[in-house]
Chain A
Amino acid sequence: MRSPTLVTTALFTFMAISAANAHAFLDHAEPRVGNSTPTAPKEVVLFFTQNLEPAFSSMEVSDANGARVDQGKPRISATTMRVGLKQLPPGTYRVRWQVLSVDTHTTEGNFTFRVGP
């Protein structure tokens, strides 16, 4: 406590007395966000910046008419969420996701990808 250096450094120690919570953001996806892929993907995989809570995380994939083209409940492991797809004809598809991070914060988002030349 006598050393100014110690005190100065100590100022930055109380900054996180407790849990300031983080959010799970989409880091990247396969197929890539907004990209085109020449062959139909068999699944959509989302990679997040935080671990997810499976009980409160979900994903849907739909075609241009709004019809679901995913195969149901996604599989979640740590920071990754994946869902199988039906056979996709060429077209534009929208992925909607909503996740709860282990830090108890909900985030959501959506993006499109395109199948075809």
Chain B
Amino acid sequence: MINPLVIVRDIHFASSVIAAGVVFFDLFVASPVLWKGLRFAKAEFHFRKAAGKILWISLVLSMASAVAWLCLLSMRIAGKTFGDVITDGTIWTVLSQTQFGFAWEMRLLFGVLLGACLLLLRKTSTGSATTWLMTAASLLAAAYLGALAFAGHGQEGAALAHIHLAADFLHLNAAGLWLGALVPLALLLASLRRFPEDGWMSAAAAAAGRFSTLGILAVGILLVSGTINAAFLLGGMHNLIDTAYGRLLLLKVALFAAMVGLAGINRQYLLARLSKSAGTDQGARTAQQLIRSALAEIALGFAIVLVVGVLGIMAPANDMAGHVH
């Protein structure tokens, strides 16, 4: 039987990454590309309506799964039933007297503030106020997603724990910037294609180009932060084979390799072709291929999230190798 905590963690990671990704995408890609007045009015309306729904569903799901995570964790720590941890105050003790609880309090606060910011955005029409609110929403989304590091093994590393925490914080946000933003990217491309107004292929190429640049930045952050995290957790390359944790990690690496490969194809071939053939039938076909490729990347990305849900309840390889005799 699958551990319910694994399921809740998977739901939480996926929804948190998507929520942050939609906010990041709006600030860095959608708004700059769609800025040119009402040129893509129908596509923008469709995109914003659908992206807004995805954002709110993800945020609510993320916060609900955070509460479920807290309940399941309290039950596991105390070895009690759900009813018992509620009535005897264990859940409150976990929330108020542990580092996990402190991280959860902060994250729930960031989540509520993010929700408030998004509500204000819906009621704001002036350009400068919108920009400020979008920036604030992005910072809150980054804090909400990144603070997950404080509830995990980002604490590990004794004197170097701060470096590990910072690496974890950046790592999570890089995942949001890439994997999370892939969802609205596919949606924006599909919206532009569905309502083909003049210049839609150029807009699609501009959006994919901006996203691709962000993707390179995200991979760069993942490169540095992931290397730091691996140094803290792996305890030697041989543990990739010798421990169950390491083997699962290898599966994750394989999925990541496929994701990087697809991203490379998108940037090297599809994006270049779309830019050159904008306005032609070939351009339309290329846009469709880009959407499919983005969907495939999303599928691979969330397969990685599934693996993460399991990895999180296992002891890292350095613990397994050092203490299981």
Contact = CB atoms under 8 A, between A and B. Distances in A.
Contacts of B263: 1
Interface string A55-87: 110000000000000000000000100000000
B171 A25 contact: no
Contacts of A32: none
Interface stretch (A35-43, A88-96, A99-107): A99-107
Nearest to A8: B257
B152 A11 contact: no
Interface string B284-323: 0000000000000000000011001001111110010011
Q: How large is the interface on A (under 10, 10 to 19, 20 to 34, 35 or more residues)?
A: 35 or more
Nearest to A21: B153
Contacts, number: 156
B217 to A, nearest CB: 11
A103 to B, nearest CB: 5
B16 to A, nearest CB: 9
Nearest to A6: B223
B100 A17 contact: no
Interface string A16-42: 111111110100000000000000000
B229 interface: yes
B149 A19 contact: yes
Contacts of B225: 13
B77 A21 contact: no
A111 B284 CA distance: 71
Interface of B is mostly: helix
Given A13-B223, A16-B171, A50-B156, A23 B13 contact: no
Interface string B240-270: 0000010001001100110110011001100
Contact of A10 (B168, B222, B267, B312): B222
A103 B156 contact: yes
B313 A21 contact: yes
A1 B62 CA distance: 32
A11 B257 CA distance: 6
Contacts of B268: 2
A18 B253 contact: no
A104 B98 contact: yes
Interface of B: 13, 73, 76-78, 93-94, 97-100, 148-149, 151-156, 158, 168, 171-172, 175, 216, 219, 222-227, 229-230, 233-234, 245, 249, 252-253, 256-257, 259-260, 263-264, 267-268, 304-305, 308, 311-316, 319, 322-323
